[in-house]
Structure 1
Amino acid sequence: MSLNTKLAIALPTYNRAITIDFFLKTYIPVVKDHNIGIYISNNASTDNTLEVIEKWKSVYPYIFCSGFDETVHVDINVENALKLSPAEYTWLIGDGYEIPQQSLEYLLNVLPDGSDKYDFVIANLVGRIKDIDEKIYRDQNQVLEDLAWMITCLGCTVYHKSVIPLGDYSRYRATEFGHVGFVFDILSKLDFKLLWSPNITIVTLKTPERKPGWGQYFLSNIFEKWPSFISLLPDSYGASSKAIAMRAFLQKSKLLGWRNMLTIRSQGFLNKEIYRRYEGIVSEVAPGFLKSYMLFLTYMPEGLCAFVLKRVEWIRRKNFQIRKAFNPDLRI
């Protein structure tokens, strides 16, 4: 069977050789029955990422890799990954996420044939949205209010090939949310048809290493860059819809969860000075206990936070392994 022309997977990466190795080991058994291409944009990695990719290309012929001679901003690498795919639909996904077999099969079954098409398909993240049934959106402000926070996840959006050349990529570069800006820029220009499907869900990839995340940029990204990004959206989006989207990302994404805050403190990126800088916006968008918890963490030694975090991670992974042994189809 030849290369699948209906659907492809696009993957941007940088210096994540161990993760890419695990990613391809996980994905190849899922996609090989449909000969789905995996298009990797390598952001001039300095580790052995290319060697890992070459190893898996000898196992699965539909892995393609392109990239840059020098490292570029992540938004440019994401854009390049998306443009590598020639398929009718492209699922853009980060290397920290997994597409379960049932989600892939469901998507392939709902993608229309012939002249009918979806401009975008939005997938769920670990089933977090439970109160919106599968539906077709045609109103840009409604998409912004309901789904913008979900679209921030680099793995929840499937693009039709016709929209990929249309986005104003440069407008949202270096915002850290370029892939989100591209979607909403397109929606403001088209009489679009977007499918939201809670039945298509991605899950976290249980990699050998914990994903490092935004590190020192974590708090500035969510408290400064996200509001700034929202302000860049076209004027066709209503002020009230922008405000709803701005708050929903902080409230629903679970980025302000206790483990993330513990991680940030353990890395030295949360202290009394930083806490005071963001205290006002935390009070606006988060429950009172989170504000108290963040303040409490500023008094905890970083080493103690790191120790607690490692123990929590060990317990979580062991718990997952035990549950997985009894239920091989478990996905979380």
Structure 2
Amino acid sequence: MQANLISEQLSIAIPTYNRADILKENILKMLPELRAYNICIYISDDSSNDDTLNMVELLKNTYNNIVYCRNVPSLGHDRNCIRTLSMPTQEYIWYLGDSMYIENGGIAQLLQKINAVKSDFYVTNVRERNFTHPSQIYTDTRRLFSELAWHLTLTGCCIYRRQVIEQIDTVGLAKNFPQSQIIFNRVVESCNLTFIDEVKVATNINKAKSYWEAEIFNVFGNDWISLIDSVYKVNPTAFERIKVIKSHSKYTGIFGLKNMIKLRFLGVLTLSSYLKNKDNIKLASHINKFVIWGLLFTPRFIFILIKFFHDQKIISKNK
């Protein structure tokens, strides 16, 4: 395909780390629309092996609108985020996680929105979140933070205007959430963001654990709070601090009862891990601290037994 056929309106930028098979599967899922609109894919590879490099070389035989960069040495999550966003030359950049894909029709619908109105950011819905929210243009910063800030942490649902990326100061961006802070820093100055409910991204069912799962209390406790506080210091009137901090747990359930039970079963939620992170958990979680204490003082083997009998019930039901 000739270079002049590549869309100048939209590109897809993907940071990746050791997920060659899933990444290939996701690109192939999106291939009909990629071809239809000549969308260029930019891949910034932080992998520890050559699997993604080899996969991309083979995939180019099928679709050659792919720009690939191997990072040696690896940049790490945050620096690779900035590297990935800086690669495209198109007007808008869809920053897509390597375990995610755009559902059929999503690219066409986004391009229609871009042609209708020029926003600094477009935000899609996510299949797994079951998030019901009307499509709308946000120009009010306070309402945006109240309703949508929690959603903007997910790598895959946000599309950035390249003009905004070119203006960012990459020094001091929040740990683990640089992609979110780029949006937050902009909207506290000038809010111009479009949420599109009908466009959805989805997670590949073969996805392995995310990099942050082993550090869940640190990432979605300390780092999430630090992100919100860094923006709050710039403009304390832009949103209600505690409400926005708790919104992530409230809507994702990451520190809700169901997931805290899971973390207790896995041995992630222990007395020592709680005491180490209790202030951040108390601030970030939307459930009562006494519920968490109840989980902590329930012997872990109880949760293991419950999980065992639950699995046996499912196995018997499926026979």
TM range (shorter): 0.7 to 0.9
- Check whether the contact 1:12–1:42 (CA below 8 A) recurs between aligned residues: yes
Alignment of 1:24 onto 2:27: yes
Structure 2 distance, partners of 1:291, 1:38, is: 44
Match of 1:143 in 2: 144
Please state how far the C-alpha of 1:290 moved relative to its aligned partner: 5.8
Match of 2:245 in 1: 246
Please state how far the C-alpha of 1:188 moved relative to its aligned partner: 3.0
- Matched position secondary structure for 1:165: helix
Match of 2:184 in 1: 184
- Check whether the contact 1:4–1:34 (CA below 8 A) recurs between aligned residues: yes
Match of 2:286 in 1: 286
Q: Aligned in 2, Cα 1:45/1:286: closer, same or farther, shift over 3 Å?
A: same
- Check whether the contact 2:269–2:296 (CA below 8 A) recurs between aligned residues: no
Match of 1:163 in 2: 164
Structure 2 distance, partners of 1:53, 1:310, is: 42
Match of 2:154 in 1: 153
Structure 2 distance, partners of 1:102, 1:48, is: 29
Please state how far the C-alpha of 1:23 moved relative to its aligned partner: 2.2
Please state how far the C-alpha of 1:20 moved relative to its aligned partner: 1.9
Structure 1 distance, partners of 2:299, 2:191, is: 47
Please state how far the C-alpha of 1:44 moved relative to its aligned partner: 4.6
Match of 1:91, as an amino acid?
A: W
- Check whether the contact 1:265–1:271 (CA below 8 A) recurs between aligned residues: yes
- Matched position secondary structure for 2:242: helix
- Matched position secondary structure for 1:155: coil
Please state how far the C-alpha of 1:42 moved relative to its aligned partner: 0.8
State TM-score, norm by structure 2. Answer: 0.84
Counterpart pick for 1:36 among 13, 36, 39 = 39
Structure 1 distance, partners of 2:18, 2:67, is: 17
Alignment of 1:133 onto 2:109: no
Match of 1:299 in 2: 300
- Matched position secondary structure for 1:64: strand
Percentage identity across aligned positions? 24
Q: Aligned in 2, Cα 1:278/1:63: closer, same or farther, shift over 3 Å?
A: same
- Check whether the contact 1:264–1:270 (CA below 8 A) recurs between aligned residues: yes
Q: Aligned in 2, Cα 1:266/1:79: closer, same or farther, shift over 3 Å?
A: farther
- Matched position secondary structure for 1:112: helix
- Check whether the contact 1:12–1:40 (CA below 8 A) recurs between aligned residues: yes
Match of 1:256 in 2: 255
Which consecutive residues of structure 1, in runs of 5 or more, have no partner in the other structure? 320-332
Please state how far the C-alpha of 1:27 moved relative to its aligned partner: 2.5
Match of 1:48 in 2: 51
- Matched position secondary structure for 1:129: coil
Match of 2:148, as an amino acid?
A: L
Structure 2 distance, partners of 1:251, 1:203, is: 21
Please give the root-mean-square deviation of Cα atoms over the aligned residues, in Å. Answer: 3.2
Structure 1 distance, partners of 2:295, 2:111, is: 43
Structure 1 distance, partners of 2:291, 2:63, is: 46
Structure 1 distance, partners of 2:42, 2:302, is: 43
Q: Aligned in 2, Cα 1:43/1:267: closer, same or farther, shift over 3 Å?
A: farther
- Check whether the contact 2:119–2:194 (CA below 8 A) recurs between aligned residues: yes
Match of 2:88 in 1: 85
Structure 1 distance, partners of 2:203, 2:291, is: 24
Structure 2 distance, partners of 1:293, 1:60, is: 54
- Matched position secondary structure for 1:86: coil
Counterpart pick for 2:16 among 4, 13, 16 = 13
Q: Aligned in 2, Cα 1:30/1:112: closer, same or farther, shift over 3 Å?
A: closer
Structure 1 distance, partners of 2:160, 2:100, is: 17
Please state how far the C-alpha of 1:164 moved relative to its aligned partner: 1.0
Aligned residues: 308
- Check whether the contact 1:36–1:62 (CA below 8 A) recurs between aligned residues: yes
Match of 1:328 in 2: none
Deviations 1:189-211 (A, max 9, x none): 4x44211122222222222x433
Counterpart pick for 2:98 among 95, 98, 121 = 95
Structure 1 distance, partners of 2:146, 2:13, is: 26
Please state how far the C-alpha of 1:37 moved relative to its aligned partner: 1.1
Structure 1 distance, partners of 2:261, 2:50, is: 29
- Check whether the contact 2:13–2:96 (CA below 8 A) recurs between aligned residues: yes
